[in-house]
Amino acid sequence: MSSNEPWAVDDVGLLSPAWAGSAVAAATGDAALLRAMLEAEAALVRARAELGLAPAGAAAAVTEAVAASAEWADPRSLALRARSGGNPVIPLVADLTAAVAARSPRAGTADHVHRGATSQDILDTAMMLVAARALDLTVADLDRAATALAALAVEHRDTVLAGRTLTQHAVPTTLGLKAVGWRSLLLAARDRLAAVRAGLPAQLGGAAGTLAAFQSDAVDESLGLRLVTAYARQTGLAEPLLPWHTLRTPVADLGAALAFTGGVLGKLAADVLTLARTEIGELSEGSGGESSAMPHKSNPVRAALIAATARQLPALAGILFGSMTAEDERPAGAWHAEWQPLREALRLAGGAAGDAAELVEGLRVHPERMRENLDRGGGLIAAERLAAALAPLIGRGEARAALARAARRVVAERTDLARALRADPALTGLLSEQRLRELTDPARCLGSAGALVDRALQETL
């Protein structure tokens, strides 16, 4: 393949359908990261100007050059030149300095670009800006999904289906209860991401985290602290207590929240994938995916992509946790190892949140299949309730034994539980026909499911 072909170097997500073409992909792409790095550089000059450390004209000139970056900034060139210094900030500073010098007639204006900062100050701040924008999109999609799940729970509050444990029918439950369970998890993920989003900090410490280059000959030790305050305000990020070049709590917290979100969405996807199986058929996606070989297929693609994401995010978070063991005041390798995993984690979580919203909004429910599956078990799904009803009459042990005999007969003779119990001499006359019908009706075996749904729906967005 010729390197002159337009797709030769562009990563457009060919192997990443979980986020390709999504809003979060655009918010985390190279263009977005470049814009965030430039915003961080401009914010630093403006903050210095606030404190009288730079002329107001310099702040204006840098901000104008950043606004015109489409005319001179080249992400591909920056990426290639980053290899010499190990990060893209070094060549970016050179290009921004040249752009300011070309636009400002005043001598020395360009000297205020990046003054006192280190590359990690700018790239960490830029990554937090990118993360903030990606999280805003992700939280909005989680809210969409939670809203759709609330409507699903209300509509199907009392829709009965088989509760399954260890893959087998256990006791009846309701789709409403499953839906509020999914929603509760989504709200927990939303709250974690929102909390992390609110605390995403700017980074400013200078070469080794002492802010020394910003002090110059100043006697006032608080000058650096006031600059951090101004810088955080200019970026719109939180003010850090300390420079966090090797104190990577913000990145670790972000990775943990993203991995948690992946697990939450993965639970939803796992249930949909199970209930959408051909032999179960209780749920289906509104617009299933095609197969390249089998024209009859309608695959649960949204759920499959979410499930793939849920398997990747813990590993990416693991890399971010591993980078916490960063040596000295600025590390070699640990910081660099974070960049791509963090961006991919933001993309995957954001893409999965969008897929989850689409999945739930278009989810199709098939109550008739739920009833068929309940009946297929011959009424054994009501065994727990029958055991509780028979225990006061014949003792707990005998009740369990009688139900075990009846269960074996249901399987061996392909009958139902009510008939098997009527045929047991030990139970003759204990339960009337009406009472037996009531006890074996799945809709009467739901316990507090409806009340749990109602209580869960009180949890607001």
DSSP bridge partners of 365: 283
Q: Minimal CA–CA distance to 69: which of 97, 28, 88, 27?
A: 97
Q: Minimal CA–CA distance to 146: which of 361, 455, 349?
A: 361
Strand duo 168-174 + 160-165: pairing: antiparallel
Q: Is 201 in a helix, a strand, or coil? A: strand
For 440, list phi and psi in degrees, rounded to 5: -100, 5
Q: Scanning the structure block, which residue is given the tokens 């800006």?
A: 129
Q: Scanning the structure block, which residue is given the tokens 């949140």?
A: 353
Catalytic machinery residues: 291, 330
Neighbours of 241 (CB within 10 A): 9
Measured between alpha carbons, how far is 132 from 241 in angstroms, rounded to an integer? 19
Give, in order, the Cα–Cα distances in Å from 245 to each of 67, 327, 332, 339. Answer: 28, 10, 11, 14
Measured between alpha carbons, how far is 49 from 42 in angstroms, rounded to an integer? 11
Cβ–Cβ under 8 Å, residues 174 and 450: yes
Cβ–Cβ under 8 Å, residues 227 and 204: yes
Q: Minimal CA–CA distance to 417: which of 427, 403, 428, 431?
A: 403
Give, in order, the Cα–Cα distances in Å from 6 to each of 2, 3, 34, 298. Answer: 9, 8, 20, 34
DSSP bridge partners of 160: 174
Cβ–Cβ under 8 Å, residues 301 and 289: yes
Contact partners, residue 271, CB within 8 Å, separation at least 6 = 178, 182
DSSP bridge partners of 284: 364
Q: Scanning the structure block, which residue is given the tokens 């444990």?
A: 165
Tokens of 178: 């499953």
Q: Is 365 in a helix, a strand, or coil? A: strand
Cβ–Cβ under 8 Å, residues 173 and 446: yes
Contact partners, residue 440, CB within 8 Å, separation at least 6 = 379, 382, 386, 416, 417, 418
